[in-house]
A and B are shown apart, each in its own frame.
Chain A
Amino acid sequence: MRKIHNLLFILIIFSNPVLASDNGGVLYAQHCAACHGDSGNGGVGVPISLGSFLDRVPDSYLKKTIRHGRPGRVMPAFRHMSDAEVNSIVNYIRKWSSKPAPVYKTENITGNKKTGQKLFTQHCVSCHGVEGKGGKGTGVTFSRVRSLPIIAPALMNDGFLASASDSMIKDTIVHGRVGTPMSSFAKQGLSDQQVNDIVSFIRSKQGKNKKASTEILPANLMYEADGTIEEALEAVKKAIVGANFRVIRVQHFEDAYVEKGKEDSKKIIIYFCNFNMLYKALAIDPRVGLFLPCRITLIEKKGKVKLLSINPATMSKKFNNDELLKLCDEMTALYEAIMEEATL
């Protein structure tokens, strides 16, 4: 019995979120580093250790960002974390700055929304987008050419607006972010009132975002053809080329798992690609490799051939990236067109 008591004591110690959260570095490494980098230099995520960012955002902004994430903008919401764990991560991040965390007023700023909209169109849209949906792509993608070195935040995203106070937004507009394309608009001649107008316009968009679709889509696409697998394969190849894709490889499903020549010839994978589309997808989100390259699997059974593929539209919902949703809807339509043509 004493053994059980001792064991329970040890387990409670290790599973207690308050005690476990003492080490913010461990939690950061576990939950944040993969996207934001070990030193916060960014990657799939934005560079949170950048001085002009970290020195000018309050702890409350970081905490709320972890909690709310950015719906449709890659950063997930970490709702399952305890307050102690979130605090611990923020304390860890804060150590990258030698300055104390700023504190902003929480009251809303009063301004003229209509004037703010005009000013927003004039000064902000080129980077942040017409509807404040932010720049394209993810945080800082090092591997591909892009128009901005750091993605412009989605200012009208509900996650952002739930995290940032009006005063913090105003401070950013006034001072800019050194080391990013965001320059100081005070230096560019905007008056205090004009900045207030822009802030009021941005704030007016809170809660106006379209909610993500909750429609449940099939996880894969499946078509059936009569005849042999060889016939179906030829038809799929023809349909792939007709859809402007290139066949890059045909292999047995068991390729490399069984001795050469002993593979099940009734199970085949065909890989294909459209490099323009691939490049576009990787620029939107480098994680899309999870459903690359494009592929259709053929399985012959009882005189019928099943054509199977993943459903890109379903997969894209896993990425919390609205831009990717659109592209993957196109991909699903293309997959369906190819398989439909091949099974006519």
Chain B
Amino acid sequence: MIEEGRALFLQIAESVEDSIIDGSLHDEGQAPSTNELAAFYRINPATAAKGVAMLVEKNVLYKRRGIGMFVAPGARELLLTERRAAFADRFVDPLLAEARKLGLGPDDLALLIRERMTAPAPTPEGSTR
């Protein structure tokens, strides 16, 4: 769940962001507390607090005093914009680098992507239905 080589607080913040993006945490919904995050990921609570503080600063979460942390209105839109902007760097560039190595051109890639997008999603166990 936790990868090496990247700041833990960033990974904790991203895990909360993922829940907001996939809709399991909705606008005005209560977000996990620092202590819950620390216990779940088995990390130092100060590190979890740093991740939460970063989300507050980004206006993704806000604090209701004495109650806890909540998802700020518009947080999902904000995160989607941000993730879409980073999509090319994070996913397309490495894809292109590997494609170049294998001698696959843009048309080959477009074909592959279209094929995969229209094919039925693979089942988790890889079993045939």
- Is the A/B pair a real complex? no
